[in-house]
Amino acid sequence: MIEVRRAADRFRTVADGRDTRHSLSFGPHYDPANLRFGSLVCHNDDRVLPGHGYPDHPHTDLEIVTWVLSGSLRHEDSRGNAGVVTPGRAQAMSAGSGVVHAETVDRAAGPTRFIQTWVLPDEPGLTPSYSSGDVTVAETWTPVASGAGHEAAARIGAAGATFWAATPPLGAVLTVPEVPSAHLFVAEGQVDLTPERGEPVHLAASDAVRLREETALLTVTEPAHLLLWTFA
């Protein structure tokens, strides 16, 4: 089955210097039918102005993957990890037994847009860890972060889960593989999705679709930046 989630239907949080669209229930935005999708419990699309962001705050037992689409995001945490994440660089933090971190946009940087997703780990209470690395995103699916054995730039503690990116040109055709569950997000561009069973669906920028035990073809109708979570 497939379930389309349109950009305009997402929850929205507007705060000082931040504008966030939530694909799943988050904070005060509660929908008992939209708490999670498989082990995916957060899928946020953040736009943050220079000098703003998220000061120190704690996390436990989450695999947090951050993917910057434009601008730059500074990360610092209580384990001593620090760095600036820019487009083409993957970042993953396994919160494990507990970690405090901050994510901010430097005053000298430009407006920043990033996608942050949270996945439940296989085991709770493990020692927190951090990984990052550069990714050359291809026109086809490129692994960004994975616990499934793919050679991804960032590692997560969720076996069977992989975060992919692709930047296909106009007219390209990609396949969403048939897995127990897959979450596709059109960060930029437009595509036509044709499921193996069912009617074609047009997806515009910031639309998403959730697939369960369903394969589908994607035909790019406007050059796109696509993000895909697969859960084996």
pLDDT of residue 197: 83
Encoded amino acid at 124, one letter? P
Q: By 3-state DSSP, what share of the chain in percent is helix, strand and coil, each rounded to 5? A: 0, 55, 40
Q: Residues 64-123: pLDDT tens digits?
A: 999 999 999 999 999 999 999 999 999 999 999 999 999 999 999 999 999 999 999 999
Q: Residues 98-111: pLDDT tens digits?
A: 999 999 999 999 99
Average pLDDT along the chain:
96
What confidence category does residue 15 fall into, taking pLDDT thresholds of 50, 70 and 90?
very high
Topology of domain 2-231 in CATH is: Jelly Rolls (2.60.120)
Domain ranges (residues) in the chain = 2-231
Residue 216, beta-bridge partner list: 176, 195
Q: Indicate the pairing of strand 73-77 with strand 99-104.
A: antiparallel
What 8-state DSSP symbol labels residue 122?
Answer: S
Evaluate if residue 34 carries a pLDDT over 90. yes
Beta strands in the chain (DSSP E): 2-5, 11-15, 18-22, 40-48, 53-59, 63-70, 73-77, 82-85, 89-94, 99-104, 112-119, 129-134, 142-146, 154-155, 161-166, 173-176, 181-195, 201-203, 208-211, 216-231
- Which residues does 124 contact at the CB level (< 8 Å), separation at least 6? 60, 61
CA within 13 Å, CB half, 149: 2
